[in-house]
């Protein structure tokens, strides 16, 4: 792998979709917690809305504003050319995400998203993994709350044990929150695309090396009492198992 030189790019991180519900929360977090000297920008369709958002954030004078639109691939490529990392909150990703992934893979730009759409993750692996490896781009999906606790929890558990130890990991999450509009739209969209989802999964299995002595699966069945957490648990067949695998 030969990573493209990104040292001369003006931004360390660009947040695409910054004026949406989740994008605004992410921008507020970055403004409050970004390390000193981090060069970052907000990006989206409306320069006016982006400027209003920027002006309301701490350290506004140091935050860049970039216009980009998913319907204009050239603007997405220009965005990816200007940053070492692009984080996007613009979904449903299966409709609005591919052009940005393609640009990042081609330009060696690291890419992060919040998708919970298995079809999108599988399609992006098949179409862009090879190019991303050539340029050194890291394409990281499902970086939101839904998958991160399970992914990091399983990783931490495995790292703490000797190699080769038989292990079963069950993940539990207790939450008291509502879906955002974007999350709800993505879930409804994915439910309507069952045939495409299965086709994308089959295509990925043909391209991806098979796991050896490992099996990761999403939970199934109805609600059950879980003595491990002393509570009733409802299996959720989400993208988590795919991300852990």
44-63: pLDDT as tens digits: 999 999 999 999 999 888 99
| pLDDT (0 to 100) of residue 178 | 63
- Please indicate whether residue 224 or residue 11 has the higher confidence score (pLDDT): 11
Closest Cα partner for 94 from 116, 71, 126?
116
Please give the pLDDT value at position 152: 85
Tell me the pTM: 0.81
219 has a pLDDT exceeding 80: no
Which pLDDT score, from 0 to 100, does residue 172 have? 80
Least confident of 7-11, 73-77, 116-120, 214-218: 214-218
For 226, the enclosing helix (H) or strand (E) is strand 224-226
Whether the ω angle into residue 50 lies within 30 degrees of 0, i.e. cis, is no
Domains belonging to the chain, first-starting first, are 11-140 (3.40.50.720), 148-177+209-244 (no CATH)
pLDDT at position 97? 96
Q: Give the residue with greater pLDDT, 19 vs 154.
A: 19
What confidence tier does 202 reach under pLDDT thresholds 50, 70, 90? Answer: confident
DSSP state of 35: P
Mean pLDDT, range 208-231, rounded to an integer: 75
Give the whole-angstrom CA distance, residue 170 versus residue 134. Answer: 36
| Spatial strand order in the sheet of 139-140 | 63-67, 40-44, 11-16, 83-88, 110-113, 139-140
Q: Over 70: is that where the pLDDT of 177 sits?
A: no
pLDDT of the residue at 215: 65
Nearest to 102 by CA among 135, 59, 64: 135
Phi/psi region, residue 188 (left: phi>0; alpha: psi -120 to 50; beta: rest), is: alpha
Work out the number of other CB atoms within 10 angstroms of the CB of residue 131: 17
Supply the pLDDT for residue 122.
92
pLDDT in tens, 135-170: 999 999 988 776 788 788 888 888 888 877 777 777
Distance in angstroms (rounded) separating the CA atoms of residues 90 and 17? 5
Q: Strands 110-113 and 83-88, how do they pair?
A: parallel
Distance CA 80, CA 160 (A): 37
Distance CA 4, CA 60 (A): 30
**Is the pLDDT reported for residue 242 higher than 80?**
no
pLDDT of residue 130: 95
Do residues 16 and 87 make contact, with C-beta atoms less than 8 angstroms apart? yes
The better pLDDT of the pair 125, 169 is held by 125
State residue 171's pLDDT score: 78
Q: What pLDDT, on the 0 to 100 scale, is given for residue 198?
A: 75
pLDDT exceeds cutoff 80 at 239: no
Residue 1 has pLDDT above 60, yes or no: no
Cα–Cα distance, 177 to 96 (Å, whole number): 25
* Per-residue pLDDT at 213: 61
pLDDT reading at 218 higher than 70: no
pLDDT score for 174:
78
């Amino acid at each position: 792998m030969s990573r493209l030189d990104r040292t001369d790019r003006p931004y360390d991180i660009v947040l695409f979709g910054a004026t949406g519900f989740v994008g605004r929360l992410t921008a507020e977090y970055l403004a409050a917690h970004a390390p000193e000297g981090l060069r970052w920008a907000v990006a989206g369709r409306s320069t006016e809305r982006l400027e209003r958002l920027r002006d309301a954030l701490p350290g506004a004078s140091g935050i860049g504003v970039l216009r980009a639109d998913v319907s204009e691939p050239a603007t997405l490529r220009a965005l990816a050319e200007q940053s070492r990392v692009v984080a996007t909150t613009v979904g449903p990703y299966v409709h609005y995400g591919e052009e940005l992934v393609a640009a990042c893979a081609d330009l060696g730009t690291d890419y992060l998203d919040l998708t919970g759409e298995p079809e999108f993750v599988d399609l992006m692996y098949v179409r862009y993994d090879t190019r991303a490896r050539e340029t050194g781009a890291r394409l990281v999906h499902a970086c939101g709350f839904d998958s991160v606790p399970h992914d990091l929890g399983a990783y931490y558990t495995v790292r703490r044990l000797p190699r080769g130890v038989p292990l079963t990991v069950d993940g539990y999450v207790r939450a008291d929150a509502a879906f955002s509009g974007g999350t709800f739209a993505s879930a409804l969209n994915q439910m309507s695309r069952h045939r495409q989802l299965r086709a994308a999964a089959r295509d990925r299995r043909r391209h991806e090396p098979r796991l050896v002595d490992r099996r990761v699966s999403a939970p199934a069945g109805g609600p059950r009492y879980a003595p491990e957490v002393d509570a009733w648990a409802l299996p959720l067949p989400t993208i988590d198992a795919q991300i852990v695998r």
